[in-house]
Structure 1
Amino acid sequence: MWECPDFYPVSIDGKNGVDTSSLDKFTKHVLKASFDSSDHYVLGNYTAVTDNFSVDTDFLDNGSDLRYDYGNFYASKTFFDSAKKRRILWAWIQESDSTTDDIKKDWSGLQSFPRSILLSKTGKQLIQWPVEEIEKQRTVNVSFKNKELKGGSVLEISGITASQADVEVSFNSSNLKEADLLDPSWVDPQLLCSQKTASVGGNIGPFGILALASKDLTEQTSIFFRVFRRNDKYVVLMCSDQSRSSLEEGPKKTIYGAFIDIDPLNEMISLRSLIDHSIVESFGGEGRACITARVYPKLAIDNQAYLYAFNNGTFDVNISTLNAWSMKKAHIVSFTKRRKPHLN
């Protein structure tokens, strides 16, 4: 069953969003549908005269699995912001605990951070990035460059509020030739991430960040990468591992994964994660793969939450740059005292 379909044009130059009615030769069209708990999409060419949509690849066809987000992200919708010439994407982030817990909380689900959405330079996928207004919520900043992460090491990123943060980090490695071989049977990235969690060492990776972590790392939500070799080329796997996100037994602790179109020989492996108490939205490869996690830590809350960079691989990786910011708290206005109706 399909839900929440969306159909809209994207510019082939990838610089700006375009109005929904745009039909010129410089656009492709996106058809998105929500099913199997994910938001899938295909790209193609739309001919208005014949009302024909010719797709590049069909949904889940020939191993194609294009999704907005490979995590907890559903029922999305886009709109065109004519003032800033951009297309904005919103989605529903579901709970991962029980209905009973939802009733106790008296609420269920939340809205994702708004994202801008463009066509990639290759024309083969969409690129997503948090809207620029989110950067106005940044406060205290911690940053550094060219930090070596030894194999098996963990580095605390201190000086910010780790329970509510915006983190940007880029990695590189001079040991890529040592990357593990990619088994031809490893075609399902989520299954591969489930088998090779953040605690399972490889040659190049896992490396990344530990978000919403307790001081002793009993609780942690890990967002990380692994690099593999295949036919003289490299394959980058991005994972979001919730298996140790909470001491509580009830919530689902799904591990998500996606292969990401990065050539680590010629570009950094980048990650941006928006952390907000019980949600971590991560953008790999400058938005080429996105994974949203919904977590319920018991220890790693408020000022007891910590942020770390880590490398559980055999070989060293380098943090080229890291920037992390505390984020402003939401200003919540209570409407508990309702006004009495005025009778004329």
Structure 2
Amino acid sequence: MKGSVFWTFLLHIILFIHGNKAKASQPYRTSYHFQPPKNWMNDPNGPMYYKGVYHLFYQCNPFAAVTGNISWAHSISYNLIDWMHLDNAINPTEPYDINGCWSGSATILPGVKKPVILYTGDNFEHHQVQNLAVPKNMSDPLLREWVKSGRNPVMTPGNGIDPKMYRDPTTAWQGSDKIWRVIIGSQINGHGTAILYKSKDFVKWTRSKDPLHSSNKTGMWECPDFYPVSSRGKKGVDSSFKGGDTKQVLKASFGDHDYYVIGNYDSKMDHYSADVDFMDSIVQLRYDYGMFYASKSFYDSDKKRRILWGWVTEADSKSDDINKG
């Protein structure tokens, strides 16, 4: 048995044993949905497929079954079913994230094929800022350790932006001009807004004059997502895909649900036009009509598909959560 095959096989065995032990010791754990080993979790963050491994980061409290001390937990899988839980990838340790490492996304930079993370930090003033983290050791196939950029925060709320309504950067995409773009969820003058930023080097970001999109029929947009879908065939496409025959999906989380619209994106003018805008139709498009929120998608380059993760809350009482752990 070749070395790489052996280690993959061994990891599958470890994942199977680990999963069975968790279910035996906690009989009320789900058998289908992903859960951490213990304690609180909510938003999925930065999912990605990288060099044969699926990575899922997520908001968690390492110390209790209720929200607080929010960190980025990290789990990996070879099949999206069996999971191994690793040490936290990002913890609140710096002035710019000391009150929580909140939601964000992963982007795999082309050429160097290096994954990077953008995430929201709740700083010492309880203002929200955007931060950058990169793998500490690129030779580690599991990317277990991440380091924060010395340039953090790389984006801060400017004029007209409420610093407590400025969060959840998307996966970035690259235009034909080789400039990176990312949107941040916000609310301006009471209207849900996707604030657009651009960067040549993924470190220095400049806010665009106009948002990518906004709506006067919704409030604050959390956990936005923006990606192309093919109008021909069923295969997914990468976030930076520039081919024809595509439409662009814009998703926003508000009102306890995940709403989305489909439209056309002019990458030269950075203008997005929805076919039918948020809340403009009797048929208001949602990913799921149950308890499903703060979703995050990623492109699976191995199977040429887009995969969507969402947070499903159990909606139990605080005392029940504590009793269950």
Superposed pair shares fold, TM > 0.5? no
TM-score scaled by structure 2? 0.32
Query: Which structure's relative contact order is higher, taking Cα pairs within 8 Å and 6+ residues apart?
Result: 1
